[in-house]
Amino acid sequence: MKKVLLLSLLIVACNHIYAFTTQGDWRWRKDDGSETAATWLADENTEIEVSNMGENLRLRINLFYEVGGFLDDAVIEYSTDTANWIQINTTATTEAFILAGSSPYVTDLEATTKQLTGEGLEFYPGKIIVSSEKLPSFSLGRGEETEFEYCIKPTANLLPSTTYFFRINAAEYQEDVPFPSLKTAATLPIQLSDFSVKPDGKQVKIQWSTAFEQNNDRFEIERSTDAKNWKTVATVKGSGTTSIKHTYSAVDQLPVKGLNYYRIKQYDLDGKSTTSEFRSLKMFMENVQSAVSVFPNPAKSTINFMLHDFAGKNVVATLINNSGRVVHTETIKDIQPDVRYTLQTRQQPAPGMYVLQLKGDGLAKSIKVIVQ
């Protein structure tokens, strides 16, 4: 009889903890602001689409108690079929989502204010969960509601074209309010970071990193001289599927003289591809240093100059007299090669020896000029 009574008390206790916990409205937002200012991604109870791995998301969920009770050790879970649920932890091996662990905008267990429509009950502050895998002891009184906001991050285990559902593992869910959900894009691009191009002697070294990769077959590095027509100059093998940061590099052995544009095209194992933004680099600009002509020299009334094979845009022209004093300076925008430019001096320089300095993208030239 005592055992039966004890079992009954345990059942009542468990029901007291969970039976009256009901999950209500929900809404997705970016992790780009404070508890009150972060950007909402959709209306309440509306699914979003995700295409970026490794970018924090915040899911806000209303919880309410019509009778009253506790919410201890509750966790957030996800599922693809609403039948088999997986807990979201701070680390992942095969899981599609993890708790973000940190955020530049909110802190773990920070109190919440009312942001959702809710049930019209008396509001009691909830928590923002960034790194706590289980809720600390938490209870509401009769007729109160609260809001919890979870900061989570998709991982490289995210599947394309898949709908994921979420819940706090309370015991009751409303039939007219769907589980929080998101859908992944058909193609999930690899996120590149630290993408740089630098001269390496007469070659160009291209470097980049990935924080996550999914079914990544290879990278093709493409070069262009006009940012329109592209040519593959190197290929680097990818790392398949991984949540570990990888750093890659490649070399363009034959860059062209002047501007070189580079971009990275990433290919999945199924042949689908995504393309990065481009970077640019000027090469062999030392040849420009001797490709400047000043005329006439000696000059009588005006000083003219011309740049040959110049690939930059703007040039600062400075005229300095024999005492080292700047007598004239001007900026010439959108300068063109093999076009004559005349210094727009307010008055003719006094006779004597001068130095004309020309500085621009990859250009630093000083030419002696005699004014008669």
pLDDT at 149 over 70: yes
What pLDDT does 34 receive?
95
Tell me the pLDDT tens digit for each residue of 206-232. Answer: 999 987 777 889 999 999 887 778 999
Write down the pTM of the prediction.
Answer: 0.56
What pLDDT does 251 receive?
96
Average pLDDT over residues 151-160: 85
pLDDT at 255 over 70: yes
Average pLDDT over residues 272-287: 75
- Between the alpha carbon of residue 330 and those of residues 182, 212, 315, 342, the distances in Å are 56, 49, 8, 11
Q: How confident is the model at residue 237 (pLDDT cuts 50, 70, 90)?
A: very high
Which residue would you say has higher pLDDT here, 84 or 257?
84
What pLDDT does 4 receive?
38
Lowest mean pLDDT segment, chosen from 56-60, 64-68, 156-160? 64-68
Mean pLDDT, the chain, whole residue set: 84
Helix/strand/coil (H/E/C) assignment for every residue in the chain: CHHHHHHHHHHHHHHHHHCCCEEEEEEEEECCCCCCCCCECCCCCCCEEECCCCCCEEEEEEEEECCCEECCCCCEEEECCCCCCEECCCCCCCCCEEECCCCCCCCCCEECCCCCCCCCCEECCCEEECCCCCCCCCEECCCEEEEEEEEEEECCCCCCCCEEEEEECCCEECCCCCCCEEEECCCCCCCEEEEEEEEECCEEEEEEEECCEEEEEEEEEEEECCCCCCEEEEEEEEEEEECCCEEEEEEECCCCCEEEEEEEEEEECCCCEEECCCEEEEECHHHHHHCEEEECCCECCCCEEEECCCCCCCEEEEEEECCCCEEEEEEECCCCCCCCEECCCCCCCCCEEEEEEEEECCEEEEEEEEEC
Q: What percent of the chain has pLDDT over 90?
A: 41
Tell me the pLDDT tens digit for each residue of 335-366. Answer: 877 788 889 988 888 888 888 999 887 778 88
Structure tokens at 1: 């009889």
Q: How confident is the model at residue 171 (pLDDT cuts 50, 70, 90)?
A: low
Average pLDDT over residues 40-50: 96
pLDDT at 29 over 50: yes
What pLDDT does 38 receive?
95
pLDDT at 20 over 70: no
Burial class (CB in 10 A: 0-12, 13-18, 19+), 71: buried
Q: How confident is the model at residue 178 (pLDDT cuts 50, 70, 90)?
A: very high
Q: How confident is the model at residue 151 (pLDDT cuts 50, 70, 90)?
A: very high
pLDDT at 12 over 70: no
